[in-house]
Structures are given as C-alpha cells and as structure tokens.
C-alpha cells in the first residue's frame, strides 16, 4: 500500500505540473490576444490622429486663403472710399460751378428782360429786338408774354 500511495502522489505531482503548464499556456495565449487587441487599438488611434492632422492642415490652408481674401477686400474697400472722396470733392466743385453759372445766367436773363422791356417801350419790332440782343424771335415773344403777365 505504501507503493500505491507513493505512486499516487507522484502521479498527482505530474498531473499538477501539467495543469500548471496548461494554465500558463492559456494565460500566455490570452496575454497575446490582449496585446494584439491593444496594438490594434493603437493603430486605429494613429490612423485617426493622422486623419485629424490632415484635416487640420486643410482647414489651416483654407483659413490662410480666407485671410488673404479678406485683406484683398479691405484694400479694395479703401480704394473705393478714396475714389468716392475724390468724386465727392469733384461733385462739390461742379455744384459750386453750376450754382455760380446759374446765378450768372439769372443775372443775364434779368438784364435781357430789362432790355426787351426797354426796347419794347421804344417801339422796336420783334426782329429788331432779336437782332440787337442776338436771340431768337421766339425767345423775344416768350419773354414779352411773360412780362405782360
């Protein structure tokens, strides 16, 4: 019986070692699987990082283009404002000239009306008045009608 127990003990020792080996192999395989999963996650993270980097560079290029466009538009606005000022100054000068001419023409018209009235009182004919004042007969008739009213 002693040999039997000794044999049984040795058998249990071998059986125990064998199961420990299996557990190590199984845990080693599980470790490899976990390691591969983590490496896969790292690869995915690197790929996503690369995609984000390229998108960021694209956005940065687009922003630089937009900034240059804005600067160009600001320059155009400045040029348009300067041209507008020049035109406004020219318009003011033109308005002054026109108003000066109108005042001259109003004075001239008043003088012509006085001369027509004077010549009409002197019993000059319409043709004579027109030739003296260097204006048309129709203008003389028109002014005479205005003066009568």
- Give burial (CB, 10 Å; 0-12/13-18/19+) of 139: middle
Kindly provide the b/e burial profile for residues 91-124, where b requires at least 16 CB atoms within 10 angstroms of the residue's own CB. eeeeeeeeeeeeeeeeeeeeebeeebeebbeeeb
Q: Among 17-31, 53-67, 102-116, which is the least confidently predicted range?
A: 17-31
In the chain, pLDDT over 90 holds for what percent of residues? 24
Q: Tell me if the pTM is above 0.75.
A: no
In the chain, where are the structural domains located? 36-148
Residue pair 135/108 in contact (Cβ under 8 Å)? The answer is no
pLDDT in tens, 106-145: 777 878 888 888 888 888 888 888 888 888 888 888 888 8
pLDDT in tens, 78-112: 999 998 888 887 767 766 665 655 555 677 787 88
């Amino acid at each position: 019986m002693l040999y039997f127990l000794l044999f049984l003990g040795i058998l249990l020792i071998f059986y125990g070692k064998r199961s420990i080996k299996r557990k190590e192999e199984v845990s080693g395989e599980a470790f490899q699987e976990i390691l591969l999963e983590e490496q896969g996650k790292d690869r995915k993270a690197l790929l996503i990082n690369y995609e984000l980097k390229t998108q960021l560079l694209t956005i940065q290029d687009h922003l630089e283009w937009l900034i240059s466009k804005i600067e160009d538009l600001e320059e155009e606005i400045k040029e348009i404002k300067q041209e507008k000022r020049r035109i406004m100054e020219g318009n003011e000068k033109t308005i002054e000239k026109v108003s000066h001419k109108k005042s001259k023409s109003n004075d001239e018209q008043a003088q012509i009306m006085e001369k027509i009235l004077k010549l009409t009182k002197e019993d000059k004919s319409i043709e004579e008045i027109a030739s003296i004042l260097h204006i048309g007969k129709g203008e003389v008739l028109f002014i005479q009608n205005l003066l009568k009213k």
